[in-house]
Amino acid sequence: MISMEEMYDRLDAELDTFQWGFGDTVLGEMVVDREAGNLVMTVYCSNTDTPDDPNVVPLKVTVSVNQFQDPKEQIRAVIHYHLCHEADEQMWFDNERTFYPHEHANA
């Protein structure tokens, strides 16, 4: 078993070479918050409440670091959690958000 500090180091090493997006298109950035024990992803999004506004706003997605899970899988899980959350927020059935607010076990 590895310590949390070792896992933080492994996550930092993976994040040094991580890119979510292609080329100049960066969809999100991720860091390890050692003090809080979290992976924190910042995603830059358009504000759907003001669709004509060209500015993007940062959206933070935070998930607890798992000492026992592979670092790449943890990074992937944060992105999957975010995408699932956003998909649930955008689904409407008969003018109701059936799956939102999104209930999800810690990714």
Range of the domain at 29: 4-90
Q: Do the domain assignments include residue 47? A: yes
Tokens 């999100």 map to which residue?
A: 28
More confident residue, 41 or 87: 41
Tens digits of per-residue pLDDT, 73-89? Answer: 999 999 988 888 777 77
pTM of the shown model: 0.77
* Nearest in space to 104 (alpha carbons), one of 71, 76, 82, 73: 82
Q: Does a structural domain hold residue 32?
A: yes
Question: In angstroms, rounded to a whole number, what is the distance separating the alpha carbons of residues 26 and 104?
Answer: 25
In this predicted model, what pLDDT tens digit does every residue of 49-70 receive, in sequence order? 777 888 877 888 899 999 999 9
- Domain annotation covers residue 33: yes
The verdict on residue 96 lying in a domain is: no
pLDDT of 30 above 90: yes
